Amino acid sequence: MFFQREKDCFSPFKMWKRRSNELAYTWGTLTPAPYDDPRANYRGKLLADPVTGQIQPYYPRWKTLIKVYCGSLPVVFLCLLVAFYIMLWSFWSEEWLLAKQKEEWPIYELALYIPGIVYTLIIVIMNRFYRIFATRLTEWENHRTESQFERNRVVKLVLFEFVNNFMSLFYIAFYLQNMEMLRMQIATMLIVLQFLNHFEEALLPIALRYGSEKVEELLVNYLAKKKRYRRFLEARLKREDAENRLTAEDIRNLKTDEISSDNPAYRQAVDEGLLESYYGTIEDYLELFIQFGYVFLFSAVYPMAGILALLNNLLEIRADAFKMCKVFQRPPSMKVRHIGAWQPALQFLGALSVLTNCGLLYLSPSLRSSFSDWSETSWLLLWAGVEHLILALQLVLAMVIPNVPLWVRQSMARSEHEIRRKLEERVHSDLEKRLSKPCDI
C-alpha cells in the first residue's frame, strides 16, 4: 500500500484519475449512459431515431467531418499564424529597444518591460475574441452530442492558447537561448495574466453592473424633469407594472399567495434575476491550463512560478466564491464522468514539460560549467537519457497502476452480482409459478 501511494504521489495525473473515478462512482456517474441524446443546438432533418424510435434531428457525420478538416482546421491554423506573427512583433520591438543607447532613454530599464506587458495585454484580448470565435466555429460544425462538441471546442482552444501563451517562451528558450530574458518574460506574463483574470472575473462585472445602473438612474431622473418625456416614462412604468402583476386567476392557478415586494424572498429573487448567467467552466479550465503550463514547462528556469501560482490559487478560491455568489446566477448542475478533453490536454503539457526542462538544463550555462570536463556529446546524451528515463517511468506507472481503484471495482462487481442474482431469482420464481399451474388438456 505504501509503495502504491508513493507511485500515486510521483504521478499526479494518475492520482487524479483514480480520485476522479472514486468521486464519479460515489456520485453515480462512473458508468456512462448507453446512448447520448442530441444537443439542444443540433440541427438536421427530423427522422425517427433507430435506437429510441423518437423523432430527432439527423445530420450526416461525414458532413461534420468535412467541416472540421476542410473548414475549421485551416481557419484555426491561420489564427495560429497570426498569433505567431504578433509574437515575433513583440520580439522585434524588444530588439529595437535593446539597440537604443541608455543615454537616449533615461528610463531604459523600465522600457524593456513595455513590449512584454503590451504583448501580454494583446494575448488577453486575442484569447477573448478567439474563444467566442472557436465556440461559433464548433457550432457551425454541428456535432451531435455534448461530449463531441466540447471535445472539438477544447482542441481548438488548447491549440490557440498554447501558441498564444507559450510559443514566445519556446522562442526565447531554445532559439535565442537567453535564460535571463526567459525568466523576465515568464514573470511578466504570469503576474499580469493573474491580475487581469482576477479583475475581469470579480471586479469588472460588478463595476459594469453598478455603473450601468447609475447611468440609467441619472438618465431617467434627467428625462423625468422634461415634461415631454414625463408622460412617456409614467405610461411605460404603468405598462410594465401591469405586465408583471399577476391576476387573481393566475394566483389561484398557482395555488399560492401573492408575495409582497417587501418580502426578503421577493427581493432576493429580483436581485438574483439581475445577475449575469453563468458562462460555464470553460474559462476556469483555460485559466488552469495556462497556469499549469507556466509553472511546469519552464520550472527549471523560473521555479518561483510555483509559489506565485500557489498564492494566486489561494486568492482564486475566495474570488471564485465571490463570483459565484455575487456576480453570476446559480449555475445548473450537470452529471459528468470526468473533466473530459482537459485531462489529455494537461497530460500533454506534463509530458512536454519533461522535454522542455531537460532541454533547459542541457542549455544551462551555470550547470554546464560545473561539468566542464564532460564533452558536448556526453552532456547531450546524459540529458537525453534522463528525459527518456522519466518518460519511460511515467509510461510504466500508467500501465501498472489501474485508473479505477480496487475498492471501486469490487463495489461495481458486487452491485452487478446482486443485480444478476435478483434477476435470476425472479426468472426462477416466474418459471416455478408457470410449472405449478395445472395444464389444460
Read off the pLDDT of residues 127-165 as tens digits, 9 standing for 90 and up: 888 888 888 999 999 888 888 888 889 889 888 888 888
| CA distances from residue 113 to 167, 204, 391 in whole angstroms, order as listed | 18, 25, 36
User: What pLDDT does 224 receive?
Assistant: 60
The helix (H) or strand (E) run that includes residue 58 is strand 55-58
Angle at CA of residue 300, ends 157 and 342, nearest 5°: 25
Read off the pLDDT of residues 9-53 as tens digits, 9 standing for 90 and up: 446 777 888 888 888 888 887 776 666 778 888 888 888 877 777
User: What pLDDT does 251 receive?
Assistant: 55
Read off the pLDDT of residues 61-120 as tens digits, 9 standing for 90 and up: 889 899 989 988 899 899 888 888 888 887 777 777 666 655 555 555 566 667 667 777
User: What pLDDT does 35 receive?
Assistant: 66
Whether the model clears a pTM of 0.75, i.e. scores above it, the answer is: yes
User: What pLDDT does 100 receive?
Assistant: 64
Residue 161 has a CB neighbour count (10 Å cut-off) of: 22
CA proximity to 275, closest of 325, 203, 204: 325
Read off the pLDDT of residues 199-214 as tens digits, 9 standing for 90 and up: 777 677 777 667 666 6
CA proximity to 291, closest of 192, 176, 171, 200: 192
Cα–Cα distance, 421 to 441 (Å, whole number): 35
Cβ-count burial 181-217 (b if 16+ within 10 Å, e if not): bbbbbbbbbbebbbeebbeebbeebeeeeeeeeeeee
Mean pLDDT of the chain: 78
User: What pLDDT does 2 receive?
Assistant: 33
What contacts 410, CB < 8 A, 6 or more positions away?
A: none
User: What pLDDT does 441 receive?
Assistant: 52
pLDDT at 1 over 50: no
